[in-house]
Amino acid sequence: MARILMVNDEIDLLTVCQSLLSDIGHEVDIFTSGRDALEHARRAKPDLIIVDWVMPDTDGSTVLARLKGHPATKDTPVLAISALADGAMRAELAGADRFLAKPFDVDELVSAVNHVLNRRSHAIPDSYREAASDD
Amino acid sequence: MVEPNGETTSVQDDADSRPRVLLAESIERRLHDIESRWLERVEQEIASSARKVSATDLRDAVAEYLRRLAQALRGGEPIESGGASAWADVAREHAVARVRLGFDVDQLIREFILLRRVLFEVAREERVITDGMQSERLADLIDAAIATAVKSYTESRDHAARRVQAEHIGFLTHELRNPLATATLAAGRLHRKPELVAAESETLSMLDRSLTRLREHIDGMLMSQRLDAREMECRPIDTRLGAIMADATKAAELEASQKGIDFRVRYDPDVELHIDPGLTTSALQNVVDNAVKFTDRGRVEVMADNVVDKAVIHVYDNCDGLSGEEIKTIFEPFKRAHPGKAGTGLGLAIARRALEAQGGEIGVESGAGGGCHFWLTLPKPPH
């Protein structure tokens, strides 16, 4: 069982992910605003944060930067989700532990969550590291 | 910049060229007068009906156009619309600028008509138009400029319209992914209720099939839009064959074992490459997935050759084979050799674009007895 914080501006997507992850024993707090989510993350120190890359108030890269910049959340694993085609590259370069492209199915969601919770250090493919150091 | 070159470029008959040179000289002398008279009328008759446009924007390239027109009057070369002459270039640029200002084609033509009127007024005042000949040449030049401008205007407007359309498609497909993600997950949750799966298995499969098709169409639309916009970004790095092969063949291997097809992969993982790993994996995956999709019995074989300056990956399958016509078009978007099979018809087009973007190539051959051989070349690091 893990405590997960999920932030996304689509309330239906949040609700269905909350139900699915609760079904397999996780405890999920959901937020539609990046700002509220950050505040909660600092207090509650969740085991995993799932963040949408495109949100109206505070976007994924800003949320990620603030998480990494705060002592309470700098080591919290982050799973980024996005419908953007190049979202994977952007999210992983920005320091997300894993990326999930929308639309995804239940198995993809569960396996991404487990992956980040279990094997955090191996999550970023070498190709992206090399591409990043190339720049 | 203006050389009196009437004598040298063309003209056999001085008596014929002389009045044209006079006309050209008076246009040059009265250039600012012509420009301001024209501007006044454009503001009265055209710009007032369009949205507010500044005089600087309106004036645009008119002075330059008049200079070039004078040059063309001196020369005796034939007048064609859309030609490569200097005045045609100005007309072309002017038209593109007018598209940006929101002029319609009627306003564009009326601008030129007003300019013609002012030019003839000035020519009469200067008494340089004495018979039909020179005025005819002036009128012809302006008419040709109108034709050139209208052609450029239309092209530029169509181009802008296509760009807006591509942006709309991009936005729409992107927005569609959000509700699709929710629907896919909601359907997934239903699958986790055993009593529901037992009672409604057919309904659930119907739901799944429809969601899968929606996903394929949305992905295909986004990909084709990106192909159109030539957005594919390429970042080659030094890597090894081993870094891409497993990812590229994983899905096909699973599919092959489900279909009961023999699937073999042979390669040296240490072959050095200079490629964009993401683009190359996606290109190879498209080809290998296709091979398994179109092979119903027999085998699919993937093997890598190490040549001096490149690596060649061969993909052999036991599909029904391709006709000569199909081979010609198979790498074009939306060309599907086997319409019965699912898919967007974009996989191979994407593969080709992805490989060519990094200096690789893709090709196919197919024998009469069926089966295809696809080959992909991947560049090596420049040593």
Question: Looking at residue B372, what is its pLDDT?
Answer: 92
Rounded to a whole number, what is the distance in Å from the CA of A71 to chain B's nearest CA?
Answer: 32
Same domain, B246 and B351: yes
pLDDT of residue B4 exceeding 50: no
Give the chain A residue nearest B244 (alpha carbons): A127
* B141 domain-assigned: yes
Same domain, B259 and B274: yes
Same domain, B364 and B244: yes
Q: Which residues of B make CB contacts under 8 Å with A?
A: 174, 177-186, 188-189, 191-192, 215, 222, 226, 233, 235, 237-239, 243, 277-278
* B258 domain-assigned: yes
Same domain, B272 and B197: no
Q: Which of A16, A89, A107 sits opposite B182 (nearest CB)?
A: A16
* B54 domain-assigned: yes
Confidence of residue A102 (pLDDT cuts 50, 70, 90): confident
Give contacts of A20 with chain B, Cβ < 8 Å: 185, 188-189, 192
| Span B307-330, pLDDT tens digits | 888 999 999 999 888 888 888 888
| Cα–Cα dist B92/A67, whole Å | 53
Q: Exposed (0-12), middle (13-18) or buried (19+): which is B215, by Cβ within 10 Å?
A: buried
DSSP string covering B109-169, please?
HHHHHHHHHHHHHHHHHTT---SHHHHHHHHHHHHHHHHHHHHHHHHHHHHHHHHHHHHHH
Q: pLDDT higher for B85 or B124?
A: B124
Same domain, B167 and B145: no
| pLDDT, averaged across chain B | 81
Which of B161, B177, B212 is the endpoint of a domain? B161
For residue A134, is it left (φ>0), alpha (ψ between -120 and 50) or beta? alpha
* B184 domain-assigned: yes
Same domain, B212 and B241: no
- Percent pLDDT > 90 in chain B is 24
* B124 domain-assigned: yes
Same domain, B74 and B86: yes
Question: Helices marked H in A24-105 — which ranges?
Answer: 34-44, 60-68, 87-93
Question: Looking at residue B240, what is its pLDDT?
Answer: 93
Question: Looking at residue B20, what is its pLDDT?
Answer: 77
pLDDT of residue A131 exceeding 70: no
* B328 domain-assigned: yes
What's the total number of domains in chain B? 3
pLDDT of residue B306 exceeding 90: no
pLDDT of residue B119 exceeding 60: yes
Question: Looking at residue A44, what is its pLDDT?
Answer: 92
Same domain, B206 and B68: no
Confidence of residue A86 (pLDDT cuts 50, 70, 90): low
Torsion of CA B160, B162, B167, B168, to 10 degrees: 120
Which of B199, B228, B257 is the endpoint of a domain? B228
* B150 domain-assigned: yes
**B340 three-class SS:** coil
Q: pLDDT higher for A99 or B2?
A: A99
Same domain, B253 and B365: yes
Best interface-test mutation with B: which of A9, A16, A86, A133 has the largest number of B CBs within 10 A?
Answer: A16
Question: Looking at residue A37, what is its pLDDT?
Answer: 93
Q: Tell me the whole-structure pTM to 2 decimals.
A: 0.53
Question: Looking at residue B260, what is its pLDDT?
Answer: 92
Lowest mean pLDDT among B1-15, B145-159, B178-192, B193-207: B1-15
Rounded to a whole number of angstroms, the distance between the first and last alpha carbons of chain B is 51
Segment B228-257 mean pLDDT: 83
pLDDT of residue B81 exceeding 80: no
pLDDT of residue B2 exceeding 60: no
Question: Looking at residue B377, what is its pLDDT?
Answer: 95
Give contacts of A105 with chain B, Cβ < 8 Å: 184-185, 188
Segment A92-113 mean pLDDT: 86
- Percent pLDDT > 70 in chain B is 83
Confidence of residue B302 (pLDDT cuts 50, 70, 90): very high
Give contacts of A23 with chain B, Cβ < 8 Å: 189, 192
Which of B132, B161, B190 is the endpoint of a domain? B161
Segment B112-119 mean pLDDT: 89
Q: Which of B184, B237, B243 sits opposite A103 (nearest CB)?
A: B184
Contact A103 B226 (CB under 8 A): no
Question: Looking at residue B335, what is its pLDDT?
Answer: 65
Same domain, B187 and B292: no
ipTM of the predicted assembly exceeds 0.90: no
Contact B237 A12 (CB under 8 A): no
Same domain, B300 and B332: yes
Question: Looking at residue B233, what is its pLDDT?
Answer: 66
pLDDT of residue B149 exceeding 90: no
- B134-to-A28, B12, B100, B358 alpha-carbon distances in Å: 85, 15, 34, 57
pLDDT of residue A134 exceeding 60: no
Confidence of residue A101 (pLDDT cuts 50, 70, 90): confident
pLDDT of residue B76 exceeding 70: no
pLDDT of residue A76 exceeding 70: yes
Q: Domain of residue B309: give its range.
A: 237-379
* B1 domain-assigned: no
Segment B281-304 mean pLDDT: 91
Best interface-test mutation with B: which of A50, A86, A105 has the largest number of B CBs within 10 A?
Answer: A105
Domains and CATH numbers, chain A: 3-134 (3.40.50.2300)
Question: Looking at residue B50, what is its pLDDT?
Answer: 55
Check which CATH number belongs to the domain holding B352 and give it: 3.30.565.10
Same domain, B323 and B349: yes
Confidence of residue B217 (pLDDT cuts 50, 70, 90): confident
Best interface-test mutation with B: which of A14, A102, A104 has the largest number of B CBs within 10 A?
Answer: A102
pLDDT of residue A8 exceeding 50: yes
pLDDT of residue B162 exceeding 80: no
